[in-house]
Amino acid sequence: MHTLNDELIEKDLKYVWHPCSQMKDYEELKPIIVKKGEGVNLYSVDDKKYIDVVSSWWCNLLGHCNKRISNAVKQQLDTLEHVIFANFSHPKAIELCEKLANLLPVGLEKFCFTDNGSSAIEAAMKMSFQYHYQTGNPQKTRFMALSDAYHGETIGALSVGGVDLYSEIYKPVLLDIIRIQGPDCYRCPFGLNCKNCEAQCINFAQESFKKWGNESCAIVIEPLVQAAAGMKIYSPKYLNKLRKLCDEYNVHLIADEIATGYGRTGKMFACDHAGISPDIMCLSKGLTGGYMPMALAVTTKKIFNAFYAPYSEGKAFMHSHTYSGNPLACAAACEVLNILRDENIIEKAQEKAIYFNKIINEKFSNFKFVGDIRSIGLINAIELVKNKNSKEPFDSKLRIGYQIYKEALKYGVILRPLGNVIYFNPPLIIEKDDMNYVTDVAYKCVKKVLD
């Protein structure tokens, strides 16, 4: 029988080129057509329930179809859907900036709106270059970034990224980046433990700053969690030391909090763990609760002032996106902040995080192919390795993570892996029952694939 689901799948495969996918895989694993979302759950057209334990690529913060966010967007929809953002503004954009300015690390108070994370990174890079150009340092033309970084997919953002899977093939057209060996706590080259080390790996950055600091505009980093690299977590001390280096060499610190912001690490922003203020912070994903594509590059008055001059001096930041400051997205973003405040979401998520991490450790720590379990906030990642002692990884061609993913889908859990790292990064509102269920399913599936 040809069901509605079959028909939709057929048409999907006829037309859609899905992101980050080898489309040939879809011959075997068909796209799941989702008709409805509610809380942490998604419901497919063929009436299966899936727990969205990856927050739909880390953006869904407070559950699907959250009543308060939905109502805020509905209201905005009947008032003003969009307006040009040059020379014009609107109440929700202003409200959002004022609210965020009170929550962000000190000094971040000028808001540049873009419409996705990658383009916020691009804006930050251009802003940093132009700042130095206009303040007597035109020799500063290069960018620094860490190994295993991920900052998005557009050419500039991809250039600062250091995950070969995404960028290798495009190298001939990418910017020439100064790549710094970043923290790697599971395979620490100094044999230290990140819970009590002094971030000795800052040495690699020190050397690069010495050599190239004078010609560098900025270093772009993901504070505390290199998410796309497999939820690699490092010490806040590294951030403190990097902040000092940046000051010493007049290099901007661009904190990409697109994945780490909004309570994902247990605090509002990952930078808060180190108590540092970056020169530019990029936000997206949780910013709108996962409702709308919007992003921000937030910066300081100091940077802003280097662009502030009579028009004839040509110092303006001539950067724009058609959908800059979209009112629907701003309405969602304002309501997200209201909910975080009214419902104490981040504090409560911290209690849940302790529980989640405990049950994951209990289940997985003795399993012979589990090399590392790392966690921060509600993010928990399990790195599967061929050999626990040597930490030798599984051959990526075996697609261990992908097999586990397919298995978990049968039980209605979305465990989309990062290589051989399976991870949980659920909406902050997840409850115990669901944490228990996804942990059990993950264990069952890891065992089935590896044992």
Q: Residues interacting with ligand PLP, by CB under 6 A?
A: 116-118, 150-152, 222, 227, 256, 258-259, 284
Nearer to ligand PLP, 132 or 151 (CB): 151
Nearer to ligand PLP, 151 or 241 (CB): 151
Q: How far is the CB of 151 from ligand PLP (least distance, A)?
A: 5
Half-sphere exposure of 32 (CA within 13 A, CB side): 17
Nearer to ligand PLP, 328 or 385 (CB): 328
Q: How far is the CB of 236 from ligand PLP (least distance, A)?
A: 17
Centroid of chain to Cα 304: 25
Q: How far is the CB of 114 from ligand PLP (least distance, A)?
A: 9
Q: How far is the CB of 59 from ligand PLP (least distance, A)?
A: 8
Q: How far is the CB of 157 from ligand PLP (least distance, A)?
A: 6
Q: How far is the CB of 145 from ligand PLP (least distance, A)?
A: 11
Q: How far is the CB of 119 from ligand PLP (least distance, A)?
A: 7
Cβ contact 384:371 at 8 Å: yes
Nearer to ligand PLP, 123 or 430 (CB): 123
Nearer to ligand PLP, 131 or 150 (CB): 150
Q: Is the dihedral of CA 116, 122, 128, 130 positive or negative?
A: negative
Give the 3-state DSSP-derived string for 245-260, with helices as H, strands as E and coil as C.
HHHHHCCEEEEECCCC
Nearer to ligand PLP, 213 or 289 (CB): 289
Give the residue closest to ligand PLP by C-beta. 117
The tokens for 429 are: 């509102």
Q: How far is the CB of 19 from ligand PLP (least distance, A)?
A: 9
Cβ contact 292:77 at 8 Å: no
Nearer to ligand PLP, 257 or 434 (CB): 257
- Count of beta carbons in the 10 Å neighbourhood of residue 46: 14
Nearer to ligand PLP, 108 or 446 (CB): 108
